[in-house]
Amino acid sequence: MYPILKKEKLSDKIFLMVVKAPRVAAGCLPGQFIIVKIDEEGERIPLTICDYDRAEGTITIVFQTVGASTERMALLNEGDAFADFVGPLGQPSELCLEDELEETKKKSIVFIAGGVGTAPVYPQVKWLKEHGVKTTVIIGARSKDILFYEDEMREVADELYLATDDGSYGFHGNGCQQLQALVDSGKKYDHCVAIGPMIMMKFVCLLTKELGIPTVVSMNPIMVDGTGMCGACRLVVGDEVKFACVDGPEFDGHLVDFDQAMARAKQYKTEEGRALLKQQEGDTHHGGCGNCGGDK
């Protein structure tokens, strides 16, 4: 079992947990992810590593409730434990490799985090700070009350910009518009990392392609085993089919076929929604999802 040492509610639907998982903490690097499974009946949920403490043997995860299993995860508290917690999975971020450090130091890097994507951006920025690399970070969110990790990010980023769609905090606009504004004001970037919802990453990539800034995105497709066995997480990158779990999760954003990836991500929407409704409605479930016709 993998005990939860700390739980924090970051916004209405976003939760942070610090989990004891010594083997994962010993070997992980920024950019990698874990798979968590709440109990026997739970799904295998892939989540990017948000922070790690090798000495304590802990991993920090941040998740948003989207389906039955994440809803149940949100009900867990400090002292509870996950049945399964496996990782690190996937390739570490290329920016956070010691061998490349001299090259990385020459770059002017901008991170764009969207929503819950702030979590996987944090360990990369932190790692770069620890290795003497300056970064610019833009956090975009719909509104102020779903922004999180502002203070933590301020500590590790050289420059931090906050953008809200509704203008309730910081720049009035989305992350793309904030980036455009910064470029317009004369800032120059030669590497961009965008992590967030697929639609946001798609629009960042359209912009950075125009601006000529190479861009890396972290893909979060549907995944089952996460070890390179089931093929559920396949994506089209350039002319090739890639598997996010072993080839990724980070890819050249200008080569990713986002439209296809977004269509695939919707694959289980009905089933996911159904599982959630069933759980919320329990015995009173009557098929309100309009699909299953209720349980016999």
Partner 1 sequence: MGDVLVRVPISEQDPKVRATNFEEVCLGYTEEEAVEEAGRCLNCKKPMCVGGCPVSINIPAFIEQVKERNFERAYEIISESSALPAVCGRVCPQESQCEGKCIRGIKGEAVAIGKLERFVADWARENGIKPKNTSTPNGHKVAVIGSGPSGLTAAGDLAKLGYDVTVFEALHEMGGVLVYGIPEFRLPKDKVVKAEVENVKALGVKFEKNVIIGRSITIDELMENEGFEAVFIGSGAGLPMFMHIPGEQANGVFSANEYLTRNNLMKAFKEGYDTPIARGKKVVVVGGGNVAMDAARTALRLGAEVHVVYRRSEAELPARAEEVHHAKEEGVIFDLLQNPVEILVNEEGSVRGCKIIKMELGEPDASGRRRPVEIPGSEYEIECDTVIMSLGTSPNPLISSTTVGLDTNKKGCLIATEQGATTKDAVFAGGDAVTGAATVILAMGAGKTAAAAIDEYFRNK
Strands 109-114 and 135-141, how do they pair?
parallel
The long-range contacts involving 230-237, CB below 8 angstroms and separated by at least 24 positions, are 235/260, 235/261, 235/264, 236/260, 236/261
23 binds partner 1 (CB under 8 A): yes
205 is in an annotated binding site: no
Query: What minimum distance in Å lies between the beta carbon of 199 and partner 1?
Result: 15
Task: Identify which of residues 202 and 274 has a Cβ nearer to partner 1 in the complex.
Answer: 274
Phi, psi of 197 (to 5 degrees): -60, 150
- 199 near partner 1, rule: CB under 8 A: no
3-class secondary structure, 259? helix
Burial 46-66 (b: 16+ CB within 10 A, else e): bbbbbbbeeeebbbbbbbbbe
Q: Is 41 in the site for partner 1 (CB under 8 A)?
A: yes
Residue 81 lies near partner 1 (rule: CB under 8 A)? no
- Burial of residue 13, with CB atoms counted within 10 A of its CB: 0-12 exposed, 13-18 middle, 19 or more buried: middle
Q: Determine which residue in the list 30, 67, 114, 120 makes contact with partner 1, applying CB under 8 A.
A: 67
Q: Does 272 bind partner 1 (CB under 8 A)?
A: yes
- Looking at 143, 159, 190, 241, which residue binds partner 1 (CB under 8 A)? 241
With contacts defined by CB under 8 A, name the span among 41-49, 120-128, 189-197, 212-220 that binds partner 1.
Answer: 41-49
Assess 225 for contact with partner 1 (CB under 8 A).
Answer: yes
Nearer CB in complex with partner 1: 169/268: 268
Contacting residue, 43, 175, 182, 219, with partner 1 by CB under 8 A: 43
68 contributes a contact to partner 1 by CB under 8 A: yes
User: Is 143 or 291 the residue whose CB approaches partner 1 more closely?
Assistant: 291
Shortest Å distance, C-beta 209 to partner 1: 22
The answer to whether residue 66 forms part of the interface with partner 1 (CB under 8 A) is: no
Annotated binding-site residue? 28 = no
CB-based contacts of 282: which residues, under 8 Å, 6+ apart? none
Interaction of residue 287 with partner 1, rule CB under 8 A: no
One character per residue 250-269, x = contact with partner 1 (rule: CB under 8 A):
----------x--xx-xxx-
DSSP of 172-190: ES-HHHHHHHHHHTT---S
- The answer to whether the beta carbons of residues 274 and 215 sit under 8 Å apart is no
d(CA 197, CA 199): 6
User: What single DSSP character describes residue 194?
Assistant: E
Number of residues that bind partner 1 (CB under 8 A): 44
Question: How far is it between the farthest Cα atoms of the chain?
Answer: 64
Binding to partner 1 by residue 72, rule CB under 8 A? yes
Phi, psi angle pair for 114, to nearest 5°: -115, 125
> Residues interacting with partner 1, by CB under 8 A?
23-24, 26-27, 32, 37, 41-44, 67-69, 72, 83-89, 224-225, 227-232, 234, 236, 241, 243, 246, 260, 263-264, 266-268, 271-272, 274-275
